[in-house]
Chains A and B, each alone.
Chain A
Amino acid sequence: MRFLLTCCPLFLLLVLGGLTTAGAVPEGPDLPEDLSSLSISQLKNIKLSKVTLSSRKEEELFDATASIYVITQEDIRRSGMLSVPELLRLVPGLEVAQIDGNKWAITSRGFNTRFSSKMLILVDGRSVYTTVFSGVFWDQIDYPLEDIERIEVIKGPGGTLWGANAVNGVINIITKNAKDTEGGYVTSGAGNLENGFGTARYGVKLGEDTALRVYGKYFNRDEMAADAVTPAVDQWESGRGGFRADWQPSSKNKVSVQGEYFRGESGLSAPNVVTAPIALVNPRRNEEEGFEGGHFMGRWDHTFSKTSDMQLQVFYNRESRFGLSFQTDLHIDTYDLDFQHRFQPLERHEITWGLGQRFVLDDFKNTMNMGFVQANRTNYIIGGFLQDTWSVIPDKLKLTLGSKVSVNSYTGVEVQPSGRGLWTIDDKQSAWVAFSRAVRIPSRITDGARVDLATSPGPGGVTAVAALIGDKDVKSEELFSMEMGYRVQPHKKLYIDVSLFYNFYESLLTFEPGLPALELTPAPPHLLVPLRAGNLASGETYGMELVTKWEVMKRWRLEGGFSWLEIDLDKDWNSRDLVTPPSSGKSPEFQWKLRSFVDLPYKLEWDTSLFYVDRLTNMGTPQYTRLDMRLGWRPRENLELSVGVLNLMDGEHYEFGPVSEFNRVSPTRVPRSGYGKVTFKF
C-alpha cells in the first residue's frame, strides 16, 4: 500500500500524459497571436516563466551546486495559500506540518519540531531565526504576498556562506524592488476559517531613480477543529505596516532601505499536565501569546566592474513575545553588520569573502517555572568567510572551495568548510557534488535555563518535578554532509532535478537525568529531577529529493515532487536520556506532491495541488493526502477574483499530533476551509 501511495503521482503523471494527446484542454496561448498589437505596459507585464519553462530562472538553477528550489511570485499567486509558512508546502521535500492554527513545524531533511533548530530563515538577507530559542516564531513571519519576488529554498547545509544554524537548509524570502511595485493595490477576503484579511500597498517614484512603497496588512484567523475534550483556542491575529525604498543613483550603485512594524496575538491550548495539587507546573490553557516587533535595514550594493562588486548590509531587529510558555516575557534586540566582496584576482578564479558581526541582546522575565541563569545577556557572533570559485575547465567544470570561521559567545570558534563541484555536461544538463560541515550553536535555553516540564507524585508523598536544566558546557551540534545532484532539461518544456544526500550528525542534543534533589522553595518542598542538557547522541540521515516541471501545453503546467528520508539516530552508551523523543519519528519517510496549473478560456485559472505526507510515528500522526484548489478570474488587467478550498478531501486531520511535543502545545486538526479573495490594482 505504501509503495502504491508513493508511486501514485507518477502514475498520475503517466495517465495525464496520455490525456494530453486526446486534447483535454484547448490549445493556443493566452496571449494574442500578434503581440505587436499590445501596448508597452502590457508587454512589460508578461511573465516569462508563465509562458515558457525555459526561463532564466531555470537556467540559473543549472549552475547551482545545492538542492535549490525557487517559489516565484506566480507560484505564490496561484498556490491559493494565504501565509508564508503555508507557502513553503510548495517546496518538494520540505517538511511543513501545521501544529495548530498559528504554529508550524518546518524543516528539511529531518529533525522537525516547533522550533526546528537546524533551518535558517532569512527575509531579504535578514535572519529571522531566533538564536535565543533556536528556531523561528512562524506566527510573526509575514509580508504582503503580492510583493514577494521569490522564495529561495536550499535543502542541505549552507554554513559556509550563511554561517551558524544553516545546517539542514536555508530559506530566503526576497521582496520586490520598490521600482517594480509602482502603483497601488488592495486585496481583501474572508472564509470559514479566515475571519478576514486585507493588504494595501502603494508605490511611487520619487524622482528619476528612487522608488518607494508603503504597505499594510492585517488578518484574523479563526480557531481550527476543536477536540471533543479541549476546545481549540488557536486563533491568530496579526497586523503589520512597513516600507521599502530603492535608490539607484548610477548603474554602479544601489541603495535599499526598509522598515517594518508588526504585532499580533496567537491563541494556544496547552494541555493540562498537572497530576498533583501543586502550582509548580502552571496548569494553563486557553492562553494568548502576544508578539510585537519590527526592523530597520539598509543595504548598499556597489559594482566596481563586471567581475567585482561588494555589498554592505546593516539591520536592527526587535522582537518581543508576551505570555510565552510559562508566562515568560521576552525581548530580543539584534544588531547586525555584514560585508561581502567579490573579485577576480586570476583569470579563472573568483574570490568571494565577507565579514559579519551580530549582537543579540535579550531580556527575559523569569517566572516560577521558567528561569534563566542570567535574565538578560548579550550574545555575539563574529566571523568571516572566504570562498574561491575556480573554473577548472571554463564552462565545463567548476570547483567552489571555502570556509566560514566564526567566534560566538556560546561555544567559541566554529569552522564550517565546504567543497562543491559543478560539471556542466551540456547546456541542458548538469551534475553537482558537495561536501560540507555545518554547526548548530546552542540556544539560551540549552546554555543556561531551567524549564519545568511535568510533576508527578514522588516517594513519601513529596511531589517530583522534572525540569530541563541548561548547561553552559553544551557544545554545538555538528553535521558532515555529502550531497550530489543532477539536473536535466530533456526538452524545453520539461525540467527534472534530483538530489541525493547522506548526512552524519555528531554531538546531538540530549537531556540526561541527574540525581534528584530536594528543593524547599517555592513551597511546598518538592523533589527536583534534573534533565541536564548534553551532547550524547549521533546518527545518520539519508535520502533523495526529486522535482519535475512539465509544461504540457501553453495553458497547462504540471509540477511534481517526491522525497524520501531515512533517519537513524543513536544515543551514546553513556546517555540515559529518556525525554528527548528520537527525531526519526517526527519526519515523514515519503512525501510527494503534484501541482497543476491550467489557464482556462475567459481568463480563468484553475490550480490544484495534491500533497501526500507519510505518517509520523512519534507524533501519532497517520499519513494524509491533502488537496487544495483555487479558481481565479482576471476579467481585467487590474482585477482578480479568486476562491480557494484547502484540504478539500478529508474533513480534518492532524499534521503534527495528536501527541504533544514537550513544549506543551496541544496540536489541533487542520479542517477543510474555503475563502474568497479580491485583488484590485490601481
Chain B
Amino acid sequence: MRAALVLCLAVACLPESALANDVSIEHKIKAAFTFNFIKYIDWAEKSSDPADSEFVISIIGDGPINSALAELENKEVFGKPLKVRFVPDLESAGPSNVYFINVSAQEELDSIFQKARQWGVLTVGEMDEFCERGGIINFVILDDSIHFEINQKEAQRAHLSISYKLLNQASRVIR
C-alpha cells in the first residue's frame, strides 16, 4: 500500500515537459502514407480535374487525422501544390483528387463511394470493412504497425491505375 502511495506521489511529480500533447504519431504516419499513395497512382486516365493548377485532398468529417493531413498543405506533387480542404459532409465537397473519409462520416459512406467512382476520386479511410463496402485504400494496424489494404476492383471502377509497387506493399489486395 505504501508503494501505491509513493507511486501516486511520483505521478504528481511528473515533469510538465514530458506531458506535452502533440499530434498522435499514428495519424502522422497515416498522413505520410496518404502523401506517398498519390505518387503511386496514375491519375492520367480520368480525373475529376479540380483545377489543373492544384492537387486536392478533401477530408470528409471531423477526426484526429485532420491536423496531421493539414501539414501536407502546399507540398508539391506532380509539379502542383497540394491543397487540403476540410468538408463537414459530402454535399460541401468540391472537385477533389482524394477523399479521406473519417469515421464520423461513416453514415454517408455509400453515397461518398458513388460520387468518388463517378469522378475518379481515390478514397482513403481508417475503419473496419472500408474496402468491403467500396473504399479503395484502408489503414489497418497489424503487428503494432500501420499497414493498408487496397481494393483494386474499386480503383479500376474509378479509372485509377495503382502501381504494382504499391500493390505489393499492401497487406491485402481485393481484386
Instruction: Judge whether B11 and A36 touch: CB under 8 Å.
Output: no
- A631 within 8 Å of B (CB atoms): no
Contact partner, B145, options A46, A52, A248, A492, Cβ 8 Å: A46
**B interface residue count range (under 10 / 10 to 19 / 20 to 34 / 35 or more):** 35 or more
**What is the chain B residue whose CB lies nearest that of A16?**
B10
Which stretch, B21-29, B41-49, B90-98, B100-108, touches the partner chain A? Answer: B21-29
Provided the pairs A17-B10, A51-B25, A546-B7 are in contact, do residues A251 and B17 lie with their beta carbons within 8 angstroms?
no
Interface of A is mostly: mixed
Return chain B residues, CB-CB under 8 Å to A18: 13
Chain B binder among A3-11, A372-380, A430-438, A523-531: A3-11
Minimum Cβ distance to chain A for residue B28 (Å) = 5
Q: Is B169 a contact partner of A35 (Cβ separation < 8 A)?
A: no
Nearest chain A residue, comparing its CB with the CB of B17: A21
A180 interface residue per 8 A CB criterion:
yes
In the complex where A13-B10, A21-B17, A546-B3 touch, is A52 in contact with B32 (Cβ < 8 A)? Answer: no
- Decide if A638 is an interface residue (CB 8 Å cutoff): no
Does A82 lie at the interface of the complex (its beta carbon under 8 Å from any beta carbon of B)? no
Residues of A within 8 A of B132 (CB): 251
Q: How far does the Cβ of B173 sit from chain A's closest Cβ, in whole Å? A: 7
Q: Does B143 contact A (CB under 8 A)?
A: yes
Interface 1/0 per residue, A465-488 and B, CB below 8 Å: 000000000000000000000000
B16 → chain A, closest Cβ, in Å?
8
Q: In the assembled complex, which residues on chain B have CB atoms less than 8 Å from the CB atom of A54?
A: 24
CB of A267, distance to nearest CB on chain B (Å): 37
**Residue of B at shortest CB range from A48?**
B144
- Could you mark each residue 30-54 of chain A with 1 if its beta carbon is under 8 Å from any beta carbon of chain B, else 0? 0100011011110111111111101
Q: Which residues of B sit under 8 angstroms from A548, Cβ to Cβ?
A: 7
Chain A residue at minimal CB-CB distance from B171: A179
1/0 contact string of A240-251 vs chain B (CB within 8 Å): 000000001001
Tell me whether B7 and A56 are in contact (CB under 8 A).
no
Q: Tell me which residues across on chain A come within 8 A of B165, comparing CB atoms.
A: 40
Cβ of B51: which chain A residues have Cβ within 8 Å of it? none
With a CB–CB cut-off of 8 A, which chain B residues contact A35?
Answer: 28-29, 31-32
Q: Does A73 contact B (CB under 8 A)?
A: yes
Contact A55 B36 (CB under 8 A): no
- Shortest Cβ distance from residue A13 to the other chain B in the assembled complex, whole angstroms: 5
B18 and A20: CB pair below 8 A? Answer: yes
Chain A residues within an 8 Å CB radius of B31? 35-36
Residues of chain B within 8 A of A21, CB atoms compared: 15, 17
The answer to the question of A494 belonging to the interface, with a C-beta cut-off of 8 Å to chain B, is yes
Contacts of A3 in B (CB 8 A): 2
A45, A180, A251, A493: which contacts B19 (Cβ < 8 A)? A493
Contact yes or no, A10 B29, CB < 8 A? no
**In the complex, chain B residues whose CB is within 8 Å of the CB of A47:** 144-145
- C-alpha gap A48/B4 in the complex (Å): 29
Decide yes or no whether B83 CB sits under 8 A from chain A. Answer: no
Task: Check if B7 sits within 8 Å of A10, measured CB to CB.
Answer: yes
Q: In the complex, A51→B129 CA distance in Å?
A: 27
**Which residues of chain B come closer than 8 Å to A496, judged between CB atoms?**
7, 11
Whether A149 pairs with B146 at a CB distance below 8 angstroms is no
Contact B4 A498 (CB under 8 A): yes
Q: How far is the CB of A340 from chain B (nearest CB, A)?
A: 21
Known: A7-B2, A47-B144, A48-B145. A39 touches B36 (CB 8 A): yes
Nearest A residue to B168, CB-CB: A205
Q: How far is the CB of B75 from chain A (nearest CB, A)?
A: 7
Cβ-closest chain A residue relative to B129: A306
Note all chain A residues with C-beta closer than 8 A to B10: 10, 13-14, 17
Q: Is A562 an interface residue (CB 8 A)?
A: yes
Contact B36 A36, beta carbon cutoff 8 Å? yes
By a CB distance below 8 angstroms, the chain A residues around B29 are 35, 43, 46
Question: How many angstroms between the C-alpha atoms of A21 and B33 in the bound complex?
Answer: 34
In the complex, the answer to whether B36 meets A40 with C-beta atoms within 8 Å is yes
| B-side contacts of A248, CB under 8 Å | 172
State A494–B33 Cα separation when bound (angstroms).
28
| B147 close to chain A: CB less than 8 A | yes
B72 interface hit (Cβ, 8 Å): yes
Assembled-state Cα–Cα distance A44/B26 (Å): 11
Q: A74 near B: Cβ within 8 Å?
A: yes
Q: Give chain A residues whose Cβ lies under 8 Å from the Cβ of B11.
A: 490, 494, 496
Residues of A within 8 A of B72 (CB): 36
Rounded to whole Å, the gap between the CB of B138 and the closest CB of chain A is 11
A396 at the interface (CB under 8 A from B): no
On whether the beta carbons of A45 and B169 are closer than 8 Å, the reply is no
CA distance A13 to B26 in the complex (A): 28
A314 interface hit (Cβ, 8 Å): no
Closest to B35 in A: A36
| Closest-CB distance, A553 to chain B (whole angstroms) | 6
Q: For the complex, what is the distance from the CA of A73 to the CA of B142, rounded to whole Å?
A: 13
A408 at the interface (CB under 8 A from B): no
Q: In the complex, are the beta carbons of A52 and B3 less than 8 A apart? A: no
Q: Does A426 contact B (CB under 8 A)?
A: no
Instruction: List A contacts of B35 (CB < 8 A).
Output: 36
The answer to whether B3 and A56 touch across the interface, beta carbons within 8 angstroms, is no
Chain B, range 110-162, C-beta contacts under 8 Å to A? 128-129, 132, 141-147
Residue pairs across A and B with Cβ atoms less than 8 A apart, 23 shown, are A6-B3, A7-B2, A13-B10, A17-B15, A20-B15, A20-B17, A21-B15, A29-B25, A39-B36, A44-B145, A46-B25, A46-B29, A46-B145, A48-B26, A48-B146, A149-B143, A180-B142, A251-B132, A492-B21, A493-B18, A496-B11, A548-B7, A562-B3
Interface positions of A (Cβ within 8 A of B): 3, 6-7, 10-11, 13-14, 17-18, 20-21, 27, 29, 31, 35-36, 38-41, 43-52, 54-57, 72-74, 149, 176-177, 179-180, 208-209, 248, 251, 306, 490-494, 496, 498, 546, 548, 551-553, 562
